[in-house]
Structure 1
Amino acid sequence: MHRIPIDQRHFRSGWLWSAVGLIAIAGAAVWLTRPEPPHCDTPNALEQSASTNVLAHSLTPRTPVAASSIGPSPQPVVSGQARFYSFSQGVSCSFPALPMDGFYVGMSTQEFGIAEPCGAYLDIEGPNGDVRALIVDRCPACAPGQLDLSVAAFTQIADLSDGVVPIRYRVVRDPEPPPELFYQVKPDSSGAWFAILFSGTGNPLREVAIRPSGGGTWRNLTHGMDNYWSLSGAGPGPFDARVTDVHGDRADIVGITLQPGVRATGAHLYSGAPAAPEPAQPQPIPSPTAAAQPSTSSSSANCRP
């Protein structure tokens, strides 16, 4: 996928931010006057109705893909609409310190669910181009099939003056290159109540389990609306964690303590696209081009039971 680097000079002048603010107000007005959910073109077998959760296919558990098998199958394509909003920190997925000029997207409450899509990516096609955006937020005013994009992401597919535009999008499976897993223990975690957040997953997560380091029984954590995974009575630690995505890819992380702060793991949930088979007449095989991904780390949030 072709990506055009954002020229940050376009977003630094005060007068342009004022203009963006006026356009955002106009865009919001247009959005509110078009509340009906978009309709999908259904003849293509890869497409599904926008009223159906686009993540339903992606969130279905699967057998892990063997290294020798062909690449991931295409995800369903959804026809919908997109608008933009003034992105700020404090996103529903709890990821901290996200670059303000990154490519981000918020999904409808119905599609967001209990933070299931957090950390996954959408490939979005608009009138002027396409963009790959990280799912970080929930859009309460959106109907299924309607997306809220950061200004930086919206400008890749349309003009800001458009306000609301028709789009096609799909969930990305195993985005390249495989990102590194990060985690953060919630600051008020203790032996009585433990919560942890993961980022750099690439795919939506299906399950997180922990056990005392060195052995013991795995205990599944509960996923919260703030994207933290929590467990009561976990004990003092340290812990080992087992992280599994919706496709069955898994990573084990050892030595997790109750100390808060973002930690890099050096682990990846999946290994990347399998190599193409050799042709009958041996010849050089070009390396696949890696798609750039916005970087993100883990965070703090609220929602303690």
Structure 2
Amino acid sequence: MLESDSNIARKLPVIRDVIETIERLRIARQDEVRDCPHPLLKRFTQQELTDEACPTYKNLLVGRSLRVPSRQTLMQIAHYLECSMAQRNELLLAARYLPENLELTGSDLRQVLEQGRQVMDTLPYPALLVTHTLHIEAISGSFQRLFEFLPLSEIPETQRYVLPLFFRHDMPVRKRSSFNDESTKAWEVGVVRGIQLFKQSNRLYQFEPWYQELVERFCAVADFRMYWEQGEILDQHDELPKQLLCRNTITGEWQPIQLKQIRISICSQMYPCLMALLPLDDAARTVFAALNSIETSTTPVVHSF
């Protein structure tokens, strides 16, 4: 069935805006690689964009197609053009789609973080309060004691990220999480899953300068880069219980315990959120009970900056 003239007339301004936006972004990228070749040898030509991201792009350019690209196609184009988050939303708005939700900022973020601290105070489990970059905003007293973690006030603000802290050899977390072959395998699975979570949570930011700088800082820690670059894909069947060698706070004895990590949402968005640890065996439950008995006998403490 042929489209009516009125439908075509409504689409023409949208298609024009989409093409103009894509071409402006494409030409800017092409100018950037003119004297400095792209690491992946991208040339950012119209033909290459058609081949790599949008098979109908040439038809749009010459007017053979009057179909506005789908949201998914626009995201493919944005990825090919290595768009920033603002540029992605600019492209979506040109096609009259809703923009991607940005992370909370300002007073909205502060309000949710305060709610997260209040929820963490009520949890009987060790927990961290983190943002979408896995930046640690607060840490429960039981988590600090379980992992012999430094108070956040003693960790530089630029180093308060979950991933690199769990790689550092000068902190006890890694050593006590990889004390034999089985625990080392569980630690590696957890590391790869954490890296996947970070990448997925920030997939729209991967071409932002702050993201690339942050990843470079992570990769400067121990052997983080090796795990970051291996690109292994895990599914739910690969999940292993976390194992930790810990000291019973009552008997003083060292013993292995098994844990499971869960994520607790605070608001309608995925982040900020609480990352808490649940006990999976009797040894872990005994240790947690001892941690809670210490916490209830003192003033509850949540370390934050």
- Normalised to the residue count of structure 2, the TM-score between the two structures is 0.23
**Structure possessing the higher relative contact order (Cα contacts under 8 Å, 6 or more residues apart):** 1
Choose 1 or 2 for highest CA Rg: 2
Which has more strand, going by share of residues? Answer: 1
* Greater per-residue helix proportion: 2
